Structure 1
Amino acid sequence: MSESGRDSLIDQWFSELLTAGLSILLNPVLYIGAVAAGLAGVWRIKRERKDLRTSVKPWYIELAGFFGLSLILGLLFSVGLSGAGIPLNLYWIYAVSALTLLIMLTGQFRLLSSAFLFPIVAGGAVAIMFFNVTLPEWFPEPATELLLPAAVIMSLLLIGEGLLIRFNAGENTSPRFITTPRGMKAGAFFTKRMWLVPLLIPVPDGAITALGWWPLIDTGGSYSLLILPAVIGFQLTVVHDLPDSILKRISAQVIWLGLLCGVIAAGSIYAPVLIYVSFAAAFIGRLVLVLRTRALCRYSGYHFIDKERGVMIIEVLPGSPAAKMGLLRGEIIHKVNGQLVKNETEIYAALQKNLAHCKLEILNYDGEVRYAQTALHEGQHYQLGLILIENRSRYQAS
């Protein structure tokens, strides 16, 4: 390639990258997603103040998470997708975005998974082609030859979903109180998150000329670059265990599902029918994981309830004396300043024995005894910063 041709190619790529960056600003998914994430934070604050009479984290945590770690993940995926030349056409961009918007408006964040979105859009593409459906002039035609790249992107997003669940979903789980079928008050942990994963994808019919090795799946002579604002959602209520252990297990299951679907999709190069198996496996597999997790949480009993051996901690407020002592969720306060305690009133009565110092005997999550202590400043014996499990009527049923 001559120097002038190389310069022209660089200019084309730079122009397309700039256009792609601007294209995401025209997609309503970006704005509706940000609003939905912000509203989820506001709703969480209201629920915490109703249940706990205080808020644990500020309202903007969900909004910050929408634009957080997932952007780095999107950048890494984009380098791979655009570098390898794995294309989608405008049908996929429009259809995935429209379906994402509809689900966001329902507030069911758990359905915002590529395992649900992409198989539905793929099914729509196959139905349109099979029944020869006439689409409006403004809506692009699907292309069945793009089912393989769509399955690859779906699998990548599933792996990304698992990583985000592992490293981000548990950061700000919100405590709440619910009423058990027996009328007891129990603690639970709730998480409802959305993440924006922008993907830079080649789209047929543009200014970039196809090269010898690029794109990987050639669907035309020229391409443009657009950003698909993929949104991943997650939603879960845990009553039988600490959320971190549950989230680790779900994360591993979702990652393995993504890898399995990717392998099946790759096999479609030799057996084309496997591309449909890949989409079906993603949809059914993710649905089974959702239903299985809900059943596990529902039928495994309530762990965070009033205990005979002391008072269980459901939350430790950030920056509080309790946080400085290293107290953790799920631990049980057994003794305060040497006095056995059974409820919050007894805890604060025991603190009166020594207004300058607090010594706690704690049973950790495994039932082992440990000790925590700290100096108390004036008034802090009334403000340890603990949310405790007690069968008190002031907590309302969910």
Structure 2
Amino acid sequence: MTIGLLILSLVAQPVWWFGFIREWVTADRRIRQERLTFGSAVYSDKYEVRHFVLLSLLFGLIGSVISFAVGMTIPLGWWLIYTALAALAIILGLGARLPITIFVGSVVLYVWCNSIGVTQQLIAPMRQFSFSGETVTLGNLIILLGVALFTFGIWLKKIGGRFASPKIFAQKRGKLIAGYPFNELLVVPMLVLVPGNFLSAHLPFWPVLSLGGTTVTPLFLPLLIGLHLTIFKQNPKTVFKGLSKAVVILSLFILVGGILSLFVTSSTLIVLGLAYLCYLGCLISTRWHDRKQSFWFSKVDHGVRVLGIKPETPAAKMDIQVGDIITTCNQQPVSSETNFYEALLLDPTYCHLKIQTPEGDLKVTETAIFDGAPHEIGIVMFKD
């Protein structure tokens, strides 16, 4: 019964559904853009939606188990502020751009409301409804921030750069270049404990727990995890792997800082501020390092640039990477999409390529292709 009620509360979580709709719209927009730019979708499936559903629930389950194991308790006032800001951010399209900013901002807003007595003024008339005015150590929120960043790092390592969907941009002089946007969001439904029995007072069947002599109610916290970043000059997998490592290391330091804050409460806001600055530093450093590279995913005069590889196609089985330049196809020099497919037709069942990597190395790769359908080889390139 208790488990069923908690699952029901997850299904009714509006922020999760806002995130689901957001990912669906994002995937639709990406697929339409790919079809308009390249004639067909690079990734025809809505992988953003698949990632959102599966990984949100997976991380939510793991996070809930850990939360209950350590007795993670958070203030009701902060839960309300964070949930409202998370919902508003997703509606405004900022959920993937500002997940950590929303978390830190909600903590600062909660502390400010406490300092001027707004929180207590709101809680006082609500105590008749079994709302608790008991304060919760803010160190718990620092630990929760560390958990959020650790989850972010693992999530980024798992999916960052796996689906390198190119988008064409025009530079100031009209030169076309490709960039690789990463624009995904998770809403991790993590069970946390909130002081009071405000739900069970009106819904007798709602689960209530006792923690250290204090009555607490389990609630789902819609924890935002997301990133919006476009890579222009490096292999996306390499970039996100490096960012993932930096964020995971940062999260471990924040967890230590959160534990320290449990004992030295005056250090809470200092740890929070340093954590946020370090997080921004990771993002700024990643973006700056990408922009300072001399390489661009641009058109070339001799050969054709590989912008993407469609899954489950002959190209996916070949030794081809995003950014490579195909110089010859079936022993014929190529310099455009038209040249490339004309060369493929010389041998409609086989493809032999000579390739130059972005580093200048040369390699040869070959594979069988679909008979009579050279356009289905699966290599995405600039259109003529």
Relative to the length of structure 1, the TM-score reads 0.84
The CA deviation at 1:209 is 5.0
The CA deviation at 1:326 is 4.2
Count of residues paired in the alignment: 369
Tell me the equivalent position of 1:194: 185
Which residue type is aligned with residue 85 of structure 1?
A: G
Can you give the 5+ residue segments of structure 1 that lack an aligned partner in the other structure?
1-13, 393-398
1-side partners of 2:25 and 2:140: how far apart? 34
Which residue type is aligned with residue 196 of structure 2?
A: D
Contact 1:203 1:226 in 2 (8 A): yes
2-side partners of 1:174 and 1:352: how far apart? 27
Can you give the 5+ residue segments of structure 2 that lack an aligned partner in the other structure?
198-206
Q: Aligned residues: percent identity?
A: 25
Tell me the equivalent position of 2:20: 34
1-side partners of 2:72 and 2:333: how far apart? 65
Contact 2:142 2:257 in 1 (8 A): no
Q: CA offsets per residue over residues 7-59 of structure 1, 9 Å max, x none?
A: xxxxxxx63x4433222233210211111111111111122122222112235
Which residue type is aligned with residue 127 of structure 1?
A: W
Contact 1:195 1:233 in 2 (8 A): yes
Q: CA offsets per residue over residues 59-93 of structure 1, 9 Å max, x none?
A: 53211111112322222221111111111132232
The CA deviation at 1:143 is 5.9
Equivalent residue for 2:38, pick from 29, 44, 52: 52
Which 10-residue stretch deviates more, 53-62 or 136-145? Answer: 136-145
- Cα gap change, 1:101/1:301 in structure 2, threshold over 3 Å: closer, same or farther? farther
Equivalent residue for 2:141, pick from 150, 153, 167: 150
Equivalent residue for 1:172, pick from 159, 163, 170: 163
Tell me the equivalent position of 2:112: 127
Tell me the equivalent position of 1:108: 94
SS of equivalent to 2:122? coil
The CA deviation at 1:178 is 0.8
2-side partners of 1:122 and 1:265: how far apart? 13
1-side partners of 2:52 and 2:376: how far apart? 33
SS of equivalent to 2:312? coil
- Cα gap change, 1:301/1:47 in structure 2, threshold over 3 Å: closer, same or farther? farther
The CA deviation at 1:333 is 0.9
**1:76 is aligned to 2:69:** no
Equivalent residue for 1:320, pick from 313, 318, 321: 313
Which residue type is aligned with residue 116 of structure 2?
A: F
Which 10-residue stretch deviates more, 293-302 or 74-83? Answer: 293-302
2-side partners of 1:142 and 1:192: how far apart? 39
Which residue type is aligned with residue 194 of structure 1?
A: L
**1:367 is aligned to 2:352:** no
Which residue type is aligned with residue 55 of structure 1?
A: A
CA RMSD, 1 decimal: 2.5
- Cα gap change, 1:227/1:253 in structure 2, threshold over 3 Å: closer, same or farther? same
The CA deviation at 1:163 is 0.7
Tell me the equivalent position of 1:241: 234
Which 10-residue stretch deviates more, 236-245 or 49-58? Answer: 49-58
Contact 1:24 1:228 in 2 (8 A): no
Which residue type is aligned with residue 149 of structure 1?
A: N
Which residue type is aligned with residue 182 of structure 2?
A: T
The CA deviation at 1:271 is 2.5
**1:86 is aligned to 2:79:** no
Alignment of 1:1-398 (within 5 A): 15=2, 17-58=3-44, 60-113=46-99, 115-133=100-118, 134-135=121-122, 144-206=135-197, 208-210=208-210, 215=211, 218=212, 221-389=214-382, 392=384
- Cα gap change, 1:302/1:106 in structure 2, threshold over 3 Å: closer, same or farther? farther
- Cα gap change, 1:202/1:37 in structure 2, threshold over 3 Å: closer, same or farther? same
The CA deviation at 1:177 is 0.9
